[in-house]
Structure 1
Amino acid sequence: MTAGVDTPDRRGRTGLDRHGRDLTGNPGVRIEQVEVLSCDWYVLRKTTFEYRHRDGHWSRQQRETYDRGDGATVLLYDAGRRTVLLTRQFRLPAYVNGHPDGMLVETAAGLLDGDSPEEAVRREAAEETGHTVGTPERVFAAWMSPGSVTERLHFFAAPCSRATATDAGGGIAAEGEDITVLELPFEEALAMIRSGAIADAKTIMLLQWAALDGPFRRRPAEA
């Protein structure tokens, strides 16, 4: 008996080896086998499949996928003061892969955990920054590491001000979060991308969106 397959894992899940077996959207892919390698909290699977190449021949391939669920992130901004609200927190994966101290500057973000993307970003904004925002603007969605991670990240933006600050933020201490809230001039945040002080992909994408198409884009009169 295997946890997560035949018997419940620590999150009460079974049948995790059936994920992806019924996909029919691509006739050039035939799923043969799905093996659960780990389901301690998130799920690591090894999938064996046949793939039809452009010249028509088929090859048998295997890929490992890491399934942590989908997530959402939001750029909080004050257009009048030309500032953005970001966070700083320790990220072990970045630390062990060359980041000097593992302290990344980021937009507020988190997994959906059963909520809609809009609900998730409002929840994460409140928990991490202490700001209660209204309906966020949907920007786009993207797969951040499609070679191995299944997560699709939903991107949003929302205005904030002193009036939306209802709590100190900082994350949930019971979950080990220790988050610092940063309010930065928008131009300074862009400069931090260039210097490498901001090296988080979702944050770079939202800041560049804000400069090109979002609240800080240049109007014709400003060009």
Structure 2
Amino acid sequence: MKVEILEQDCVYDGFFALNRFVVRHECFDGSWSASLVRERIDRARAAAVLLYDPLCDSVVLVEQFRIGAVADPPCTWMVECPAGMIEPGEQPEQVAHRECLEEVGRTPRNLDRIGEYYVSPGGSSEKITLYYGEIDSTALDGTLCGIAHEGEDIRVRVIPWGTMEKQLNDGQISNATTLIAIQWLAIRRLQEKVPRNG
């Protein structure tokens, strides 16, 4: 199916860019839509990592302030997978290693690609490559990390799988990347495809 971009204007260009489009697209019945005005937040691609310690049967996440959740106080300090933007010339796997070192203080081993997905394609171009990596979580819980000059204030959280599974089943995970990652791990555990102690 085809899309025609009739107009494109940059409305704002800061940390993100906001672009306004006038488009029309081919419809499922073979006709063409009317001209539609759509706005899109343009972001660089990102990489995120689900960190798992198979010896302790625990997940390692990071907790940090998120402006997008400020209107929802219980979620303003979000617990999530380490993640970061992919800079020009970088590969997603490089970013996965870099962000784990910056946000957790350690790099993962046995890094495997889980998948790639659009975060909110109704209005954003952001796409995340998600990885699984194993890590030694010894003495990590409560560690403070992050790049100070980037305004990062990050606390490492080591969460036993039983607690994480309960949060998943109770609908307590409010970050989409983390929800996808934990669901992936739950499925892999059922299939016995993830090494674990005990």
Normalising by the smaller structure, the TM-score range is: 0.7 to 0.9
**What residue in structure 2 maps to residue 31 of structure 1?**
5
Structure with greater strand share of residues: 2
CA distance in 2, matches of 1:132, 1:100: 29
**What residue in structure 1 maps to residue 78 of structure 2?**
104
Deviation at 1:175, TM superposition (A): 1.0
Q: Does 1:66 align with 2:41?
A: yes
Q: Does 1:128 align with 2:103?
A: yes
Judge conservation of contact 1:127–1:169 (CA < 8 Å) in 2. no
SS at match of 2:70: helix
Q: 1:197 to 1:180 in 2, by over 3 A?
A: farther
SS at match of 1:146: coil
TM-score w.r.t. structure 1 length?
0.78
Judge conservation of contact 2:100–2:106 (CA < 8 Å) in 1. yes
Select 2:136's aligned residue among 161, 170, 175: 161
TM-score w.r.t. structure 2 length?
0.87
Q: Does 1:201 align with 2:176?
A: yes
Deviation at 1:146, TM superposition (A): 0.6
Q: Does 1:217 align with 2:190?
A: yes
SS at match of 2:74: coil
Deviation at 1:219, TM superposition (A): 3.5
Judge conservation of contact 1:69–1:113 (CA < 8 Å) in 2. yes
Judge conservation of contact 1:118–1:135 (CA < 8 Å) in 2. no
**What residue in structure 2 maps to residue 12 of structure 1?**
none
CA distance in 2, matches of 1:94, 1:84: 23
CA distance in 2, matches of 1:101, 1:74: 20
Deviation at 1:54, TM superposition (A): 2.1
Deviation at 1:196, TM superposition (A): 4.4
Judge conservation of contact 2:144–2:153 (CA < 8 Å) in 1. no
Q: Which runs of 5+ in 2 are unaligned?
A: 194-198
Q: Does 1:56 align with 2:30?
A: yes
Q: Does 1:113 align with 2:84?
A: no
Q: Tell me the C-alpha RMSD between the 2 structures.
A: 2.1
Aligned AA (1:67) = D
**What residue in structure 2 maps to residue 172 of structure 1?**
147
Q: Deviations over 1:116-149 (max 9, x none)?
A: 1000110110000111224510010011101001
Give the number of the structure whose alpha-carbon radius of gyration is greater: 1
Q: 1:196 to 1:43 in 2, by over 3 A?
A: same
Q: Deviations over 1:75-96 (max 9, x none)?
A: 1111122111011111111122
Q: Deviations over 1:158-206 (max 9, x none)?
A: 110158x7xx551111111111001111121121233444211100110
SS at match of 1:34: strand
SS at match of 2:102: helix
**What residue in structure 2 maps to residue 181 of structure 1?**
156
Q: Does 1:146 align with 2:121?
A: yes
Judge conservation of contact 2:48–2:128 (CA < 8 Å) in 1. yes
Q: 1:101 to 1:144 in 2, by over 3 A?
A: closer
CA distance in 2, matches of 1:124, 1:53: 41
Judge conservation of contact 1:193–1:199 (CA < 8 Å) in 2. no
Aligned AA (2:15) = W
CA distance in 2, matches of 1:88, 1:74: 14
